[in-house]
């Protein structure tokens, strides 16, 4: 089983990097991108759609019996219990405006549990990756979540979901700052999760995230020695989840602030 997970992880690393190269071609010509709005602050470009088709085709060739769930195209059912969960470009709002803070996200789940995850940031050529039980890495070097015990020791990444009240994150930010902390947001939740896994951020919080945005990053945080709010494996692929992640010493404080700021989980 370990060999299979390693194979899947290395396949995903290579695929994310190849997809990133394709994405850079669109990014360098962003003035000519066709961009549509899917809702409030929710954009999609031809780059998103073409990268997802590229990733799906590679998965279908290498693992034809696996399922696929992605942001831009319909889900594909599989028969192996493995499902690839992909976001071709997380941070599309940045991507279409020439801001180099976007990434390719590929996760593999088995029966709802994430077993491998890759987040590749093409603009910096940084590839974060992990497999279940195998640790977390950045370009081949082990990474570690923050050991900070106080919010005053760094920044907390915060996301904005259009599925919940926008005032909730405003309340959260106020609470973080009231504890002597600061917030960080770069409009790519997956990338901020990678930063939490590597100790650049104390943690990352978003009241609701879709599976393709968060599964890879949550695995990264756990494998880097951090703590995450566990997602329900029965519902996460279809309905997403609340995301609270952080270094092991700061997680309970972040969880307490979220309990005060967010609506109760139903």
Beta sheet of 136-138, edge-to-edge order: 67-70, 82-90, 103-110, 113-121, 126-131, 136-138, 141-142
Specify burial of residue 190 (Cβ count, 10 A radius: 0-12, 13-18, 19+).
Answer: buried
**β-strand partners of 126:** 121
Residue 124, C-beta contacts closer than 8 angstroms, at least 6 positions apart: 100
**Per-residue pLDDT at 266 exceeds 60:** no
pLDDT band with cut points at 50, 70 and 90 for residue 36: low
For range 210-236, the mean pLDDT: 96
For range 229-238, the mean pLDDT: 94
Lowest mean pLDDT among 15-19, 35-39, 87-91, 131-135: 35-39
Taking the C-alpha atoms of residue 255 and residue 87, their distance in angstroms, rounded to an integer, is 26
Specify burial of residue 186 (Cβ count, 10 A radius: 0-12, 13-18, 19+).
Answer: middle
For range 195-215, the mean pLDDT: 97
Q: Return the pLDDT at 91.
A: 93
Which position has the higher pLDDT, 8 or 43? 8
Tens of pLDDT along 68-91? 999 777 889 999 999 999 999 999
Residue 90, C-beta contacts closer than 8 angstroms, at least 6 positions apart: 102, 103, 104, 105, 188, 189, 190, 191, 212, 213
Tens of pLDDT along 146-186? 999 999 999 999 998 877 888 999 999 999 999 999 999 99
User: How many of the other CB atoms lie within 10 Å of CB of 68?
Assistant: 21
Q: Return the pLDDT at 89.
A: 93
For range 207-223, the mean pLDDT: 97
Q: Return the pLDDT at 48.
A: 81
**Per-residue pLDDT at 42 exceeds 70:** no
Which position has the higher pLDDT, 150 or 111? 150
User: How many of the other CB atoms lie within 10 Å of CB of 98?
Assistant: 10
Q: Return the pLDDT at 249.
A: 98
What is the distance, to the nearest Å, from the Cα of residue 4 to the centroid of all Cα atoms in its chain?
23
**Closest to 110 (Cα-Cα) out of 133, 143, 128:** 133
What is the average pLDDT value for the chain, to the nearest integer?
92
Which pTM does this prediction carry?
0.93
pLDDT band with cut points at 50, 70 and 90 for residue 265: low
Q: Return the pLDDT at 50.
A: 87
pLDDT band with cut points at 50, 70 and 90 for residue 38: low
**Per-residue pLDDT at 123 exceeds 90:** yes
Tens of pLDDT along 43-61? 557 778 889 999 999 999 9
Q: Return the pLDDT at 141.
A: 98
Q: Return the pLDDT at 182.
A: 97
């Amino acid at each position: 089983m370990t060999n299979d997970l390693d194979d899947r992880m290395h396949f995903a690393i290579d695929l994310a990097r190849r997809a990133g190269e394709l994405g850079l071609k669109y990014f360098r010509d962003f003035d000519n991108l066709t961009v549509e709005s899917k809702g409030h602050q929710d954009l999609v470009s031809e780059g998103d759609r073409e990268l997802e088709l590229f990733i799906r085709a590679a998965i279908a060739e290498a693992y034809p019996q696996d399922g696929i769930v992605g942001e831009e195209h319909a889900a594909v059912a599989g028969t192996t219990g493995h499902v690839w969960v992909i976001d071709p470009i997380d941070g599309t709002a940045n991507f279409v405006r020439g801001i180099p803070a976007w990434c390719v996200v590929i996760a593999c789940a088995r029966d709802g549990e994430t077993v491998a995850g890759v987040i590749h940031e093409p603009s910096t050529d940084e590839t974060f990756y992990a497999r279940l039980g195998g640790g977390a890495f950045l370009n081949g070097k082990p990474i570690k979540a923050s050991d900070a015990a106080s919010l005053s020791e760094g920044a907390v990444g915060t996301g904005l979901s259009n599925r919940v009240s926008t005032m909730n994150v405003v309340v959260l930010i106020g609470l973080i700052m009231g504890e002597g902390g600061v917030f960080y947001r770069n409009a790519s939740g997956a990338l901020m999760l990678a930063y939490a896994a590597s100790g650049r951020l104390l943690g990352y919080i978003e009241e609701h995230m879709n599976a393709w945005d968060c599964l890879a990053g949550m695995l990264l945080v756990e494998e880097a020695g951090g703590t995450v709010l566990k997602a329900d494996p029965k519902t996460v692929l279809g309905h997403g989840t609340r995301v609270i992640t952080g270094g092991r010493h700061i997680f309970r404080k972040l969880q307490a602030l979220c309990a005060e700021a967010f609506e109760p989980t139903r």
